[in-house]
Structure 1
Amino acid sequence: MIQGVLMALLAGTLVSLQNIFNAKVNEHVGSWTTTTLVLGMGFLASLAGAVIFAGQSGFPFSQMKLWYWFSGMIGVGVVICLVQGIRLLSPTYAISIVLISQLMFAILWDSLGLFGLVKVPFTPKQLIGVLVIVTGVLLFKVGGRVRQSTLPNGYQ
């Protein structure tokens, strides 16, 4: 379990870092070029990893359901939406909203047993957890407002 927690923490760190980098790339080349670069580099890195660590056994496509092939297209939507969300809101606020959305949909899909997942009952504790997170994001956003007149010259 500890290894799973550590991997999840590392994934969160890497996603947050990637989102910031993606937003910076987007400032120079636009959303579609950013998405092409991100997913293209990701393809090359994952292809190299699969070849190095799994060899030919890393490509068992015949056992895959047809609709799994559309995952990459979902990735396009993820990158485009995140880059634009960060541009319009700020990294912290956009990623907080993404995390809330991920949590709520993960609970929904688990509770309904969708996409081949084992059905996990929805509990009041899960509802309280989501509400605490949403409240935290709202407090972060509302509590973080600073009037422009209080900032020193040159700061926004």
Structure 2
Amino acid sequence: MLSGIVLAVIAGAFVSLQTIFNNKVNERTGSWATTTLVLGTGFLASLLGSLIFAGKNTFTLQHMQPWYWFSGMIGVGVVFCLVQGVKLLGPTYAISIVLTAQLGTALLWDSLGWLGLEKIPFTFTKLIGVLVIIGGILIFKFGNGRTKDQQESISHENNNSHLRS
């Protein structure tokens, strides 16, 4: 279990780091070029790693449901939407929303047992957990009590008062 937790923490850090990199690429190229670059370099890295570690078993695909083949297309949507979300909301706010949506969606799919997942009973404590996270995001975003314009106005007033002194 500990190794699973460590790997999940590393994955979360990688998602945040990749989002920052993607945002910087997007500033220079655009969303579709960023998506192509991210998924193209990811394909090459995963192919090379797979060939090194799995060898010829890389292409042995047995008993796979046809809809699993669409995973890469879902990845296009993930990268594109995340790049746009970061551009519009900033990295921290966008990632917190993405992770909350991911948790809520996982709760739904686990509870319903869709796509061959083991059905895990839905409980209100799980729902409350997701709602607490959403509340945390709202506090993070709106909890400082001042908008950016109000903060700039206060800063401007403070600068003017120093000039008068």
Aligned to 1:137: 137
Instruction: Using structure 2 for the length normalisation, give the TM-score.
Output: 0.89
After the TM superposition, which residues 111-126 of structure 1 pair with which residues of structure 2 at under 5 Å, given as runs? Answer: 111-126=111-126
Unmatched runs of 5 consecutive residues or more in structure 1: none
Answering whether residue 106 of structure 2 is matched by residue 109 of structure 1, we say: no
What letter is aligned with 1:123? T
Distance in 2 (alpha carbons) for counterparts of 1:66 and 1:149: 57
Which string of whole-angstrom CA distances, capped at 9 and with x for unpartnered residues, describes residues 55-105 of structure 1?
A: 111222243221111111000000000000000001000001001100100
Distance in 2 (alpha carbons) for counterparts of 1:107 and 1:52: 35
Instruction: Using structure 1 for the length normalisation, give the TM-score.
Output: 0.93
Unmatched runs of 5 consecutive residues or more in structure 2: 160-165
Shift of 1:2: 0.4
Aligned to 1:148: 152
Aligned to 1:13: 13
What letter is aligned with 1:30? G
Distance in 2 (alpha carbons) for counterparts of 1:17 and 1:138: 23
Percent of pairs with identical residues: 63
Distance in 2 (alpha carbons) for counterparts of 1:87 and 1:59: 37
What letter is aligned with 1:100? T
2:129 aligns to what SS in structure 1? helix
Root-mean-square deviation (Å): 1.4
Find runs of 4+ consecutive structure 1 residues off by over 4 angstroms: none
Which string of whole-angstrom CA distances, capped at 9 and with x for unpartnered residues, describes residues 31-55 of structure 1?
A: 0000000000000000001000001
After the TM superposition, which residues 51-90 of structure 1 pair with which residues of structure 2 at under 5 Å, given as runs? Answer: 51-90=51-90
Q: Cα 1:151–1:40, aligned 2, differ >3 Å: closer, same or farther?
A: farther
Q: Cα 1:113–1:150, aligned 2, differ >3 Å: closer, same or farther?
A: same
Distance in 2 (alpha carbons) for counterparts of 1:53 and 1:42: 16
Aligned length: 153
